[in-house]
Chain A
């Protein structure tokens, strides 16, 4: 097997030139704040979304603490409780889950995987990041202005009547939406126009496929959210009346608008996670992916079907029976491409040469958690069962199995996987594995009790509850604390690695996609010379073992 890919020059020390890479090629505030380099922008996204995640996590712990006892432990009144859980949802969804993987790992890795020097529109990329920052600042401003208590869904008519800073947070969501749109647009153009010679569509790594499908959703669904939050803001400012039943409007129209975006948004969040898992099961089992094309097409299938199922969030809102039947049926349909992925990943691991390092442990945790998250989604998609479970903790547990347990864990997996690539340093494997164990145990301990109490009727969003549910709430709160400790250990492990500077290998895990065939950390324009691809994707017979044993300079 031959390849024209410029394999890492492991003898470059002989040339005597020190190592210049994207981290140290220029210094000073503006070399970062004004950078057009996709890797630096990715790193800034990583810090930004990371901080948002920690803040959102903190709000979650406060909510869980409050629910320790039936009449509430922490907050002075229900409004404050509503504000904190709204902050948790809004921060996690809009500032973390949606932008995190495309913004940080996507930005960092996508051009590398394509053999490109950068994304197609670098200035737009920087604009995306600053729109994200603007959105974050507006969200912070909304907190200062008194907070908001609508839940992250901004359901009308409550969002029209409450006396809180809904307009400001609506504006934040609008701006964040355009940040997301521009990232997606940029990735689509990059994939179409900047693939290296020989890198055909079916030689693209699956992370690229996943980001491509995500991008289509970002571009096509997010504008509807944009106009929806704008209309809510207008409604508050000058009373259009279209969502306000007092003025002849229809709050259910808001729900249609909102979920037309927010169901596809679920896949905006989860498809990049699928992409990461696809990469990692292959690299850490050192086996080509089982069903490569099936996984690639299932991403597109999920993207298309996801536009047709939004009504499953509204089974109790009084839509027509026929619409509900169709929405329920189409929801089941999503399970097919999703199951194709899950089975393909398991088949990839099967009889592979499995390396049980931290990224792989997170990946395996994902496979277990996502199976539960996906199957409970099918349960909720069934019409009659949903009427019973609607607005209970069962729903909360289900989407946390997807949002936190699957997406966040996949993000952590990818972070461990590309950390040595990004910084040229290795984290402490033992500590990382301990963190992974704590997170897995803590996560399940938090949400399994929520499945149980939800199925027994515990409604979501309540600040207080009847004493019968207390044992479940206590178990869930303890789980959340363990989860919090796990995340803290993980963050400490990452930060410590930057100070310990234990050198990573040029190709730490033995990947064969282009991102592992450029020096570590990558130079400013990614490749010393433009790569040409001649071999198939995930072909481990081309693996250069020397690069796995050569530390970065």
Chain B
């Protein structure tokens, strides 16, 4: 889009390796552009929280209805792996914050390094998550290969919930805990993957020298997104692994 005469505001870049940023045509100043994008992004984060809010509401509702199921179900999760993942995400939140700080101070190499560390954190998180799911699969608590098989109304058994060791035998609707666990962690995991993708995208821009003290908006926004992903996990971890 080129509109004549509306690219008047050009922010100076700190050095030759950086690309100057031009303000979009419908904004008057870079500050206005920055604030608009930031406000929009905060609103988007609010919708994300509300989306998860529905899931949390469901969690609390069924925790109330079947406390025994949730107590037993929670014990089947490995709280050490959960704690490990919590630590990983907390550290990655710090590296992301440092990445944003580096972009704000025009430190290209540091931006790249901290972003890479954050992506590494995301990768570790997903690997740990994979092994957790694998354990559930082996115990028949979430049989992934039969996840989408049809429900048999006659026998009343859910195809993906076999419970080989009968750990949930004594409580009503044992599958409910694992269904909620799977839904919440899978949607959260999807956010982790999307977040990692966004950080990689930011790294591509950083490598080209797009970000500097005069322009660091995408790094800032992706950073906010990553903190949200972290924040949601901070709620998920105690609710699923510890509270029961």
Contact = CB atoms under 8 A, between A and B. Distances in A.
Interface string A99-131: 000000000000000001111111010000000
Interface string A189-220: 11011100000000000000000000000011
SS class of chain B's interface: helix, strand, loop or mixed? helix
A181 B47 contact: yes
B26 A194 contact: yes
A325 B37 CA distance: 43
B164 interface: no
Contact of A219 (B27, B46, B153): B46
Contacts of A228: 54
Interface stretch (B8-16, B172-180, B200-208): B172-180
A193 B6 contact: no
Interface string B45-64: 01110111111011001100
A220 B205 CA distance: 32
Scoring B24, B66, B148, B153 by chain A CB atoms within 10 A of each residue's CB, the highest score goes to: B24
Which interface residue of B3, B65, B151 has the most chain A CB atoms within 10 A?
B151
Nearest to A224: B54
A121 B54 contact: no
Interface in A178-196: 181, 185-186, 188-190, 192-194
B156 A246 contact: yes
Nearest to B172: A248
B43 interface: yes
Contact of B44 (A122, A185, A240): A185
Contacts of B1: 36
A185 B28 CA distance: 20
Contacts of A223: 47-48, 50-51, 53-54
A193 B179 contact: no
B172 A525 contact: no
A234 B36 contact: no
B55 A227 contact: yes
A488 B58 CA distance: 46
Given A247-B158, A248-B66, A257-B54, A120 B47 contact: no
Given A193-B32, A238-B160, A242-B58, A188 B179 contact: no
A501 interface: no
Interface of B: 1, 3, 6, 24-28, 32, 35-37, 39-40, 43-44, 46-48, 50-55, 57-58, 61-62, 65-66, 147-148, 151, 153, 156, 158-160, 172-173, 175-176, 179-180, 183
25 contacts: A116-B26, A119-B26, A120-B26, A124-B40, A185-B44, A188-B40, A189-B40, A193-B35, A193-B39, A219-B47, A224-B53, A227-B51, A227-B52, A227-B53, A227-B55, A237-B148, A239-B179, A242-B58, A242-B62, A242-B176, A246-B153, A247-B158, A247-B173, A249-B176, A530-B28
Given A189-B36, A223-B53, 10 more contacts: A117-B6, A194-B32, A223-B51, A238-B179, A239-B158, A239-B179, A241-B176, A242-B58, A248-B172, A250-B65
